[in-house]
Amino acid sequence: MPLRVIVGVSGGIAAYKAVSVVREFVRRGHNVTVIPTGSALRFVGLPTWEAISRNSVPTDLFEGVAEVRHVALGQQADLVVVAPTTANMLASLASGFAADLLGTTVLASTAPLVLAPAMHTEMWENAAVQANVESLRRRGTFFIGPESGALTGDDSGVGRMSEPETIVDFALSCLTPQSLEGKRVLISAGGTREPLDPVRYLGNRSTGAMGVALAGEARLRGAQVTLVHAHLEVSPPSGVELVSVSTAEEMHAAMVALQPAHDLVIMAAAVADWRAKNPSTQKLRKADQPEHWSPELERTPDIVADLGQRKPTGQVLIGFAAETEDIASEREAAARMKLDTKKTDAVVLNLVGERVGFGEVETAVTLITASPQSLTFEGTKSSVAGRLLDALPEL
């Protein structure tokens, strides 16, 4: 579900990194209202916040008085993040000041409050600042960072704001039930590439976005995640163990080796079904091939079917089914067959085609289990991935 997120920005140089915090929340399908302080606007201007958040940006306590905006924004929020949180902002929040729109919004909100401090090491270590942190912590405020690293000047040390993706992951985890805490989850993602020669391969249009979204959402729910990935066109999430492979054969070996140590295995990769029987070790030259050339292809191992055969008791195995039939019932029948042939506990059906199903776009998937009822989820890949994982206890 899209969340209503307030991103408060206070006046520190790390405000420029807060632009990426906002962008990441929006990318994951959430509705963000940015509330910059006056000093934050001296670092990053209003048009930037409006363009990145795709929402108007309120700055003045005396705007929107008729809608009682000074409290409405806070009352409606699901999550409030202040990034960066300067030493001055910490003092203001610890004392409950309501001198500006961000102050009134924070006080009017009962949503989780996540602070991402950023300041020089001496300031962070100052007793007054630490007392404010302690006081806020005692009242249930969440802190992410600061981390150690290069600061604004030539100095380095503790005080650097956490990376935007880390802040977003952490903030969302404060709202997410830790339903996979203590579970080990193995996910495959991306499209395999089967070489024809050292420069050419047989591949597919998978971007890996669905598997990557599943890995991120599983981690958000407290799981320890291993992501075995072939070619990806999206960045893998932070905080998961990555195993990089290229061909179906390599993915097969990695998945089989890792399977026994995992509680949940999700095969979201787009694995090539055929590979060249004899890939050339030298580049194939046009002149050496006939006008109509048919390389001899052979089948690759069906990885998920093999995992189905080897499945230890208690492990949950989920496959995907990429189907292209126009009629929903035909797609579902084709996917339901894979439940039996591949011995999986569930199959996630998605419709694919030249313009649908690939990339971080709106998607629709259907979760098919032994039960005759199936569940359909629609939304961004992150939200769909989260809802798939939340539906697992029903398996």
Q: How far is the CB of 292 from ligand CTP (least distance, A)?
A: 25
Determine the residue type at 132: N
| Of 166 and 300, CB closest to ligand CTP | 300
d(CA 133, CA 146): 12
Closest residue by beta carbon to ligand CTP: 303
Catalytic hit among 88, 204, 278, 350: 204
Q: How far is the CB of 93 from ligand CTP (least distance, A)?
A: 47
d(CA 172, CA 9): 18
Tell me if 324 sits within 8 A of 352, measured CB to CB: yes
Q: How far is the CB of 215 from ligand CTP (least distance, A)?
A: 14
Strand pairing report for 297-299 and 274-276: antiparallel
| Of 306 and 390, CB closest to ligand CTP | 306
Number of H helices, E strands in the chain: 14, 19
Sequence-distant (≥ 6) Cβ neighbours of residue 94 within 8 angstroms: 131, 132, 133, 135, 136
| Of 119 and 385, CB closest to ligand CTP | 385
Torsion of CA 221, 223, 226, 227, to 10 degrees: -10
Binding site for ligand CTP (CB under 6 A): 248, 267, 269, 271, 273, 300, 302-304, 319-322, 338
Q: How far is the CB of 189 from ligand CTP (least distance, A)?
A: 9
> What's the chain's Rg over C-alpha atoms?
25
- Read off the tokens for 297: 């292809």
| Of 139 and 299, CB closest to ligand CTP | 299
Determine the residue type at 91: A
Is 204 one of the annotated active-site residues of the chain? yes
Q: How far is the CB of 352 from ligand CTP (least distance, A)?
A: 9
| Of 5 and 318, CB closest to ligand CTP | 318
Catalytic sites, residue numbers:
204
